[in-house]
Chain A
Amino acid sequence: MALVQITDSPSLGEVQRTSTLSRWASQHAAILLLGLVLLILPVMASDFILVQVVGWAMILGIIALSLMFLAGYGGMVSLAQMTVAGVSGYMITVFGASSLPAISLFWPWWVAAPIAIAIAVAFGALTGVLSSRTEGIYTIMITLAIAAAFFYLTLQNWPIFNGFAGFTTIPAPIAFGVNWKHPVPLYYLILFFAALSYMAVLYVSRAPFGLALQGVRDNPRRMEAIGYNVTAHRVAAYAFAALFAAIGGILMVWLNNQISPGSTGVEACIDLLIIAVVGGLGHPIGAFVGAIIYVILRTFALDSLVAIGLDGRRFQTLIGLCFLVIVLFSPDGVIGLWRRWVARAGGGRSGP
């Protein structure tokens, strides 16, 4: 399928490489450095940068990671991952706390959050069941239809989703004596889950399940013939991916302090796909790279567009153009550009 061409799977050779700690550290210098910078960022950066830029990018990265997992390893481009995040975001407000006592049940966070995640995972798995009825490019159509249907449901439904108004003033919980609404605790909470999701996806991509999923992506018929249950793998992948989207959805609600139909609208779903594709579907880090690019564009495009004499409101066009350029010239995203650049630089050194 053409779906496969765009993805650049992590080579299996990486899996078998066993190395000493120092070699590991030198190979992963970039990611270690990044982790260190992120850990000490609260010392340097303002609260705005911390939460609204880096924190928001990491949340979008977590949700985009679930899309990257499905598309990159499973060959299933699902546009409904933002919807999964929206389901868990709405559920945490319904079961947890919000400014609407008529709807919210005000259960403590350690009850509400697992329920919200469980419902979102069930929703994600259902999406998987539906879209694995067909395959290839149909997946996009079906998941987009699901996403749009959920958006219009939240817009029209008042008893549960409170219509177009949505929910506002949703407090993040106070747990273990820490108010997680404050920027620094919230930042570390997001960082923790971002790192956890990243490592989980990396781990699963090399575990038997992930390898089988990549086999299903590359040749479902052959996998079926050697005894793998293709549909079950696909649905399990949707459920696994939904887990991250659900976590991201809850963090999104806590960070934004609100959720409304616009948070899970068709545009949000499409933006998520843009994030994943611009970052690159070949490696989990692509989701986060795409997210930070997107957030920086979104935050600073207005000012910079005005600075070069253009209309700042045309930022959506700018995003679209960036996306088009990436799709047309580097189908494997910024990660692909980076890899090619490294390869060229490395080739140049080893040459004459």
Chain B
Amino acid sequence: MATASGDNSGVRGPARGDALGRWVGHHPIAALAVAVAIIVVLWLVLAPWPAGFEDIFGRKRLFINAIFNGITLGGLYFLVATGFTLIFGLMRNVNLAHGSLYLFGGYMGYEAGEWTGSWLFGFVIAFISCAIVGMAMQFFIFRRMEGQDLRQTLVTLGLSIIFSDLMVWVWGGNAIQIDTPDYLMGPTPTPIVVAVKSSGDAVFLQYPRVRLVIFVAAVLIGIGMWLALHRTRIGVMIRAGVDDRDMLSVLGYRVQLLFILVFAFGAGLAGIAGIVGGTFQSISLGEDSHFLLASLQVVIVGGMGSIPGAALGAIIIGCAEQLGQTYFQNYATVVTFVIMVIVLALRPQGLLGRR
């Protein structure tokens, strides 16, 4: 597929335990650069900044907040993008209605929360309703045009227009904020020093609990998906389908059922992400294209069809976006764009993508 002469001969399936070791062996310089970058970032986060440092880079609190916001936003992007990448990897369907599913999930979760007063119940409703929409899309439309990438993509485009217009009809154009439940309200102290008072006392970072909890949940979902993909029978089928869909169906597996399941799951994840997004920020008209863009960037940077790639891409894009907004307000999107361009130039298949 890709045309560039990348040098990724060492990476075959990033999931294998020895892949990292082999990659380091093949690319000692790149590995060193990554290691140094990680150490620098860790030092910047953990150590109190020396005097003079803050004069150049601004307050440490700003930086730490940007990093934390970036990583937690990355968790949200992961939830959205992982469904996108799963659907793309298995069905070669670029689901441009994915942003609409995100928005729909957010609205449904909001309604459920308003009805029952339970934030968690909203997740169930959002997952189920988006999964139903996803299943319907796969069952009624995409099943009939299998293998026609462009036509499927155009259909998702048409659907996204209709969905977003219908959602404006039902919920209007105003932004909706989903209330954080009481037990997740307020800040959580963290052991990270953001400043040192003149008395010598360290000031520790206080960070919103809900964002930390949601990030942990995103990580757990990621690990759960990894386990499901590598330890269960359905996971084996999905991975086989990503590699060679025709062979899988020739072998007698019920590929159509698998497609519907994966579409439902991917759409459901987008729905869950909608509630998370509505709690973090707000859900409103136009957020669908924002999150579609985020998924595209995450998937292009991380690697198309790869779940670890989606995780890596989500963290990178989330941090780049937040750091960009903190330090270059007028050019924040340029930062993520430049990252995308660099990745496309060096590894067209994405950081963890396979050819």
Contact partner, B344, options A130, A156, A323, Cβ 8 Å: A130
Q: Are A323 and B161 in contact (CB under 8 A)?
A: yes
Query: In whole angstroms, what is the CA distance A279 to B4 when docked?
Result: 35
Q: Are B293 and A142 in contact (CB under 8 A)?
A: no
Q: Are B150 and A320 in contact (CB under 8 A)?
A: no
Q: For the side of the interface on B, what is the size category?
A: 35 or more
Query: In whole angstroms, what is the CA distance A77 to B157 when docked?
Result: 13
Residue in A closest to B340 when the chains form the complex, CB atoms: A145
A153 at the interface (CB under 8 A from B): yes
Q: Are B150 and A133 in contact (CB under 8 A)?
A: no
Query: In whole angstroms, what is the CA distance A328 to B300 when docked?
Result: 28
Task: Find chain B residues with CB under 8 A from A96 CB.
Answer: none
Stretch at the interface among B13-21, B28-36, B234-242, B327-335: B327-335
Q: Are A324 and B293 in contact (CB under 8 A)?
A: no
Contact partner, A149, options B3, B157, B160, B337, Cβ 8 Å: B337
Interface residues of B in 282-297 (CB under 8 A from A): 289, 292-293, 296-297
A240 at the interface (CB under 8 A from B): no
Query: In whole angstroms, what is the CA distance A133 to B349 when docked?
Result: 9
Interface residues of A in 303-345 (CB under 8 A from B): 311, 313-314, 316-317, 319-321, 323-324, 327-328, 331
Task: Find chain A residues with CB under 8 A from B96 CB.
Answer: 140, 144
Q: How far is the CB of A81 from chain B (nearest CB, A)?
A: 15
Query: In whole angstroms, what is the CA distance A316 to B162 when docked?
Result: 7
Q: Are B340 and A320 in contact (CB under 8 A)?
A: no
Task: Find chain B residues with CB under 8 A from A273 CB.
Answer: 154, 157
Query: In whole angstroms, what is the CA distance A313 to B285 when docked?
Result: 15
Contact partner, A137, options B3, B149, B336, B345, Cβ 8 Å: B149
Residue in A closest to B84 when the chains form the complex, CB atoms: A141
B255 at the interface (CB under 8 A from A): no
Query: In whole angstroms, what is the CA distance A148 to B334 when docked?
Result: 11
Q: Are A140 and B345 in contact (CB under 8 A)?
A: no
Q: Are B149 and A144 in contact (CB under 8 A)?
A: no
Q: Are B333 and A153 in contact (CB under 8 A)?
A: yes
B189 at the interface (CB under 8 A from A): no
Interface residues of A in 146-200 (CB under 8 A from B): 146, 148-149, 152-153, 156-159
Q: Are A320 and B158 in contact (CB under 8 A)?
A: yes
Query: In whole angstroms, what is the CA distance A311 to B329 when docked?
Result: 40
Contact partner, B155, options A148, A159, A324, Cβ 8 Å: A324
Residue in B closest to A273 when the chains form the complex, CB atoms: B157
Contacts known (A2-B150, A320-B165, A327-B151); A141 close to B300, Cβ less than 8 A: yes
Task: Find chain A residues with CB under 8 A from B56 CB.
Answer: none
Q: How far is the CB of B299 from chain A (nearest CB, A)?
A: 7
Task: Find chain B residues with CB under 8 A from A12 CB.
Answer: none
Contacts known (A314-B165, A317-B165, A320-B158); A5 close to B148, Cβ less than 8 A: yes
Query: In whole angstroms, what is the CA distance A96 to B92 when docked?
Result: 45
B202 at the interface (CB under 8 A from A): no
Task: Find chain B residues with CB under 8 A from A148 CB.
Answer: 289, 292-293, 296
A138 at the interface (CB under 8 A from B): yes
Contacts known (A132-B3, A145-B300, A149-B337); A324 close to B159, Cβ less than 8 A: yes
Query: In whole angstroms, what is the CA distance A156 to B290 when docked?
Result: 14
Query: In whole angstroms, what is the CA distance A267 to B96 when docked?
Result: 12
Task: Find chain A residues with CB under 8 A from B147 CB.
Answer: 2
A3 at the interface (CB under 8 A from B): yes
Q: Are B3 and A135 in contact (CB under 8 A)?
A: yes
Contact partner, B161, options A3, A138, A153, A319, Cβ 8 Å: A319
A266 at the interface (CB under 8 A from B): yes
Task: Find chain B residues with CB under 8 A from A316 CB.
Answer: 161-162, 164-165
> 10 tightest CB-CB pairs across the interface, nearest first?
A320-B161, A316-B165, A148-B293, A320-B162, A324-B158, A133-B348, A152-B333, A137-B149, A149-B337, A266-B289
**Would you mind naming 18 contact pairs between A and B with Cβ atoms under 8 Å apart?**
A3-B150, A133-B3, A133-B344, A134-B344, A134-B349, A137-B92, A137-B149, A140-B96, A148-B296, A149-B293, A149-B336, A156-B329, A156-B333, A159-B330, A266-B289, A317-B162, A324-B159, A327-B155
Besides A133-B2, A273-B154, 14 other A-B contacts (C-beta < 8 A): A2-B149, A135-B1, A140-B96, A140-B153, A142-B296, A149-B293, A149-B333, A273-B157, A314-B165, A316-B162, A317-B162, A323-B154, A327-B155, A331-B151
